[in-house]
Amino acid sequence: MDKTKDGVIVAPETGANGTFKGKFRIRIIRAGLSGNGNFYPDQSLRDAAEQFNGARVFVKSDAEHIAAKGKDVRNLIGRISDVQFIAGDKVDAGELQGTLEMIEPEGPIAKMMKDAWDRGMTDLFGFSIDAKFKVQRGRVGGKPVQIAKQIVLVHSVDLIVDPGAGGQVLNLIESKGSHPMDEENILSTDDVRRLIEACGLPKAAKEKLIAENTPPSQVTEDDLREAIKREADYLAKFTESGHVKGLGSDGHGVRITEGRDAKVGKMLDAFFDPKDRSVVSIRECYLEITGDRHFTGLMRNCDQARLRESLGSGSFSDVLGDSIARRLVTEYRNDTIYDVWRNLANVVPVNDFRTQERTRFGGYGDLPTVSEGDPYTALNSPTDEKATYAVEKRGGTEDLTLEMITNDDVSAVQRIPTKLVRSAKRTLSKFVLDFLKTNPAIYDGVTLFHTDHGNLGSAALDAAAVAAGRLAMKSQTERDTNEKIGLGPRFLWVPDELEEAAVNLFRRSTEQDKTFLQSLTLDVVPVWYWDNVNDWCLTADPIDIPTVELGFLGANEEPELFVQDSPTAGSMFTHDKVTYKIRHIYGGTVTDYRGAYKSVVA
């Protein structure tokens, strides 16, 4: 039954039998005016919907959220999926809704949210987004506001106590607090003078504006354009026509017009979006941005006014790179065959390149009884095992040449973000899954799969072999106490050649009753690059036994994109090409052999 509430939880999702599945339908962000003066148009939310798919969800204090702090894996509670824009009953009254998938469906946070829903108490907390938007100054209802025009990057969705906009944010982090403006948007004194001198106001008006806005302090380009427009509207009252030449005004209140640089960003985003066919020519994009009709790549052949308006303070390579980077992040968050590594590894943030130590302690024995009046005896302290690793940089470059633009090689240019993402995801996945494939030496100096570890077999894949492997995993003992851990496998890893046989192990044919193995319902995971067609592995749920740890520098799971080299003076290209660099920084190691079993078939 559908319910409508004022809280940010729209509804918890339940199975056919009414059981809770650990998922919530939530309102991520609502259009309109937020609690601290930010305005979200419907179109901005509609365009941003795809960016929220796959976004991580953290639980934070309001102070951590406003300060953009608290991104600790221990605070990670889930991710957002199936994001949709829901139109409102009037303009700028819509909202983004998504499904919050909890990592721990039975955990305390999920239980609290479910109980709050059942008791009608969802207004006690909310969701607020940590994202970066392009903003413009404007007025709504006669009040000055910041209008969120376009999303640049979604960092996370945070569960906090006091959201500022029905469950949402800017970078500006939206909540009832303040956040310093991005330094990159603040104009320099030279920028202020250049923009004012380029407008069509009389000299005296220009001098007045320059005096009022230098030094610029916290002045952005949108602030300055708004000030120029106010001055123009004032002077228009004294002109014969009621308008000031060169600025344009309809005389009917304030109208926010989209800057050319924002339009250029949208145009390039559309070019790289396979679902948007409104822009299909990189040649036309280049011409529209630069005015370089002969495609020379030289600044002297460009329309300088058009170039300034299109690029702002950036370069052609930077603006194009921003669009490629946005597409790269979107592509990276799409599920592919390369994401199977998440079934094996636990992800943690790493602060620097120094060696990381992960200590795993043994256990205490059974507690002895204590007779009346007797003292308590000291327990034997557990010993420890240490695993170490350090993060490393991985990356490469890709060129965009002047010839590709001139020849309008659309497919080659559009494939750049896809090719880069595929390479990054494949490399990461192989790094993690190679722990199973290559059987490296681990923290105790012995290979991961070894007879000393009790996790190495040699039988070909069949029901008896899998049952034996499961028993071996359940028979693993705790360090120091030798008590059985008793945890079996969840995943069965096989090469593509064994996928059908593995799936059939858990499928009933004509038999009415399940066999022992069929009752286990392990998840079969085929690994595309394993070249040994006989070997197979079992692993436990990484939540139960942390077998592999994967650390990302600065908790940045997505690869980064940079311009490799700066264009030389007088040219938009270096050696007639722009070189983009992709960088991905991570490392990892095996932290416990007890969560894995392998059969190496002779």
Q: What is the mean pLDDT of residues 424-437?
A: 96
Name the pLDDT band for 13 (thresholds 50, 70, 90). Answer: low
- Show contacts of 291-298: CB within 8 Å, 24+ apart: 295/402, 295/405, 295/406, 297/402, 297/571, 297/572, 297/573, 297/576, 298/570, 298/571, 298/572
Name the pLDDT band for 165 (thresholds 50, 70, 90). Answer: very low
Locate 181 and state its tokens: 């403006």
Cα separation, 279 vs 206, whole angstroms: 38
Which stretch, 139-148, 178-187, 223-232, has highest mean pLDDT? 223-232
* Among 39, 10, 11, residue whose Cα is nearest residue 27: 10
Residue 50 predicted with pLDDT over 80: yes
Instruction: Print burial letters for 171-208: b (CB count within 10 Å at least 16), e (below 16).
Output: bbbbbebebebbeebebeeebbbebbeebebeeebbee
- Output the pLDDT for position 18: 58
Residue indicated by tokens 């006989």: 534
Name the pLDDT band for 461 (thresholds 50, 70, 90). Answer: very high
**What are the two backbone dihedrals, phi and then psi, of residue 211, each rounded to the nearest 5 degrees?**
-65, -35
Lowest mean pLDDT among 45-49, 52-56, 116-120, 527-531: 116-120
User: Contact 589/549 with Cβ under 8 angstroms?
Assistant: yes
Looking at residue 357, its amino acid is E
- Output the pLDDT for position 162: 59
Residue 410 buriedness (CB in 10 A; 0-12 / 13-18 / 19+)? middle
- Output the pLDDT for position 169: 29
Lowest mean pLDDT among 443-447, 507-511, 584-588, 592-596: 507-511
User: Contact 53/38 with Cβ under 8 angstroms?
Assistant: no
Q: Which helix (H) or strand (E) holds 261?
A: helix 260-272
3-state secondary structure 187-200: CCHHHHHHHHHHCC
* Among 104, 117, 53, residue whose Cα is nearest residue 75: 104
Lowest mean pLDDT among 12-26, 102-116, 326-340, 439-453: 12-26
Nearest-10 Cα torsion for 51, 130, 159, 121: -90
Residue 506 CB partners (closer than 8 Å, separation 6+): 517, 518, 520, 521, 522, 524
| Greater pLDDT, 273 or 508 | 273
Name the pLDDT band for 215 (thresholds 50, 70, 90). Answer: low
pLDDT for 54-90, tens place per residue? 999 988 765 554 544 556 778 889 999 989 988 888 8
Cα separation, 18 vs 15, whole angstroms: 5
Q: Are strands 491-495 and 523-527 parallel, antiparallel or unpaired?
A: parallel
Three-class secondary structure of residue 349 per DSSP:
strand
Residue 431 predicted with pLDDT over 90: yes
* Among 163, 114, 104, residue whose Cα is nearest residue 11: 114
Cα separation, 103 vs 468, whole angstroms: 30
- Output the pLDDT for position 565: 57
Name the pLDDT band for 479 (thresholds 50, 70, 90). Answer: confident
Name the pLDDT band for 25 (thresholds 50, 70, 90). Answer: confident
- Output the pLDDT for position 185: 57
User: Contact 580/430 with Cβ under 8 angstroms?
Assistant: no
Locate 488 and state its tokens: 């079996």
* Cα–Cα–Cα angle for 458, 451, 428, rounded to 5 degrees: 75
- Output the pLDDT for position 248: 36
Looking at residue 350, its amino acid is V
Count how many Cα atoms sit within 13 Å of the Cα of residue 195 in the half-sphere of its side chain. Answer: 25
Residue 466 predicted with pLDDT over 70: yes
- Output the pLDDT for position 194: 78
Question: How many angstroms separate the Cα of 281 from the Cα of each of 327, 410, 429, 497, 553?
Answer: 17, 6, 34, 42, 37
Residue 64 CB partners (closer than 8 Å, separation 6+): 70
Q: What is the mean pLDDT of residues 125-145?
A: 75
User: Contact 14/21 with Cβ under 8 angstroms?
Assistant: yes
Three-class secondary structure of residue 13 per DSSP:
strand
- Output the pLDDT for position 223: 76
- Output the pLDDT for position 93: 84
Q: Which helix (H) or strand (E) holds 418?
A: helix 410-438
Residue 134 predicted with pLDDT over 60: yes
pLDDT for 367-393, tens place per residue? 888 888 888 888 777 767 889 999 999
Residue 465 predicted with pLDDT over 70: yes
Residue 182 predicted with pLDDT over 60: no
- Output the pLDDT for position 302: 66
- Output the pLDDT for position 260: 60
- Output the pLDDT for position 10: 62
Q: Please report, rounded to a whole number, the percentage of residues in the chain having pLDDT higher than 90.
A: 23
Q: What is the mean pLDDT of residues 298-320?
A: 60
Q: Are strands 345-350 and 548-553 parallel, antiparallel or unpaired?
A: parallel
Cα separation, 587 vs 351, whole angstroms: 12
Q: What is the mean pLDDT of residues 564-581?
A: 62
Task: Tell me the H-state helices in 119-259.
Answer: 189-198, 203-213, 221-236
Taken in order 117, 121, 123, 127, the sign of the CA dihedral is negative
Lowest mean pLDDT among 161-170, 173-182, 376-385, 537-546: 173-182
Name the pLDDT band for 501 (thresholds 50, 70, 90). Answer: very high
- Output the pLDDT for position 179: 40
Name the pLDDT band for 581 (thresholds 50, 70, 90). Answer: confident
User: Contact 169/281 with Cβ under 8 angstroms?
Assistant: no
Cα separation, 394 vs 424, whole angstroms: 8
Residue indicated by tokens 């300060």: 67
pLDDT for 502-535, tens place per residue? 998 887 665 566 666 666 778 999 999 999 999 9
Cα separation, 506 vs 471, whole angstroms: 17
- Output the pLDDT for position 247: 40
- Output the pLDDT for position 602: 82
Average pLDDT, the chain: 77
Name the pLDDT band for 538 (thresholds 50, 70, 90). Answer: very high
Residue 180 predicted with pLDDT over 50: no
Which stretch, 292-296, 300-304, 397-401, 598-602, has highest mean pLDDT? 598-602
Nearest-10 Cα torsion for 552, 333, 527, 530: -60
